[in-house]
Structure 1
Amino acid sequence: MIEEQKNNPLHGLKLEVMLTELVDFYDWKILYAALRLECFNINPSHEACLKFLKKTEWARERVESFYLYRFKRMPKGSSAQFELKPRERGFADGIVPRKPETLTIELIEQMRAKATADYEAMKANKSKGYGKKVYDGAYKTRTNDNRPKPSQDPKNPWGK
């Protein structure tokens, strides 16, 4: 367990320190726009947010995921990694956090609108039969071969 946690930016990081870093860099309004947690919107304070996050596991996991993938900009893991809680996830040796992503309320709204449009397009494609299993001697799934393949190099997970 210790070996796995060695490369997790959340290992040993207190919730209070994480919240302070996020608020200092982003501000309460940006955090509310990105995470949609009311503790960041209605009369936000460190004490109230900490109390809420300590009591509410799903909200704490959302903040920890935001910290990992937006603030520390760690590479996205496999689906098996996403089954784990953020504090239990590990990263390959040599992967270090990058500079935080700069966010604005407008940019967050654009990303949310794009995600909604992508989701609606995916639902429409599934209703047309794309991505469903077909039988031609063996079950296969149709895939989109135009997508870029993820990097297989563990030292360069971003593929750049």
Structure 2
Amino acid sequence: MPDSPSKDPLHGVTLETIVRSLEQWYGWPELAERIRIRCFTHDPSVKSALVFLRRTPWARAKVEELYRRTVAPRGD
């Protein structure tokens, strides 16, 4: 039985790719409006966002959900 591809849009996508994609899609100011976390509102950078999101599951979940809704390709 062949393996079917995962339907999860986050499958194989790194957190860094997610943050960079969202930053390109929205820019830091809009991203900070959508998800009110300090790493997006005060001197934002990919590095600071990654450090915070790796340590903070609730914030990472919000970022992943925004990615699913906006950047990830739509499924069936």
Task: Report the aligned-residue RMSD.
Answer: 1.9
Gaps of 5+ in 2: none
* Higher RCO (CA < 8 A, seq sep 6+): 2
Largest Rg, 1 or 2: 1
Question: Do the aligned partners of 2:21 and 2:71 also contact (CA within 8 Å) in 1?
Answer: no
The residue correspondences of 1:1-160 to structure 2 (distance < 5 A) are: 6-72=6-72, 74=74, 95=75, 155=76
TM-score (norm 1): 0.42
**CA offset digits 1:9-63 (Å, max 9, x no partner):** 1011100011111111210001000111121010101111100000000000000
Gaps of 5+ in 1: 75-94, 96-154, 156-160
**CA offset digits 1:105-138 (Å, max 9, x no partner):** xxxxxxxxxxxxxxxxxxxxxxxxxxxxxxxxxx
TM-score (norm 2): 0.85
**Equivalent pairs, count:** 74
- Greater per-residue helix proportion: 2
Q: What letter corresponds to residue 17 of structure 1 in structure 2? A: T
Question: Do the aligned partners of 1:28 and 1:41 also contact (CA within 8 Å) in 2?
Answer: yes
Runs of 4+ aligned residues of structure 1 deviating over 6 Å after TM superposition are none
CA distance in 1, matches of 2:5, 2:55: 24
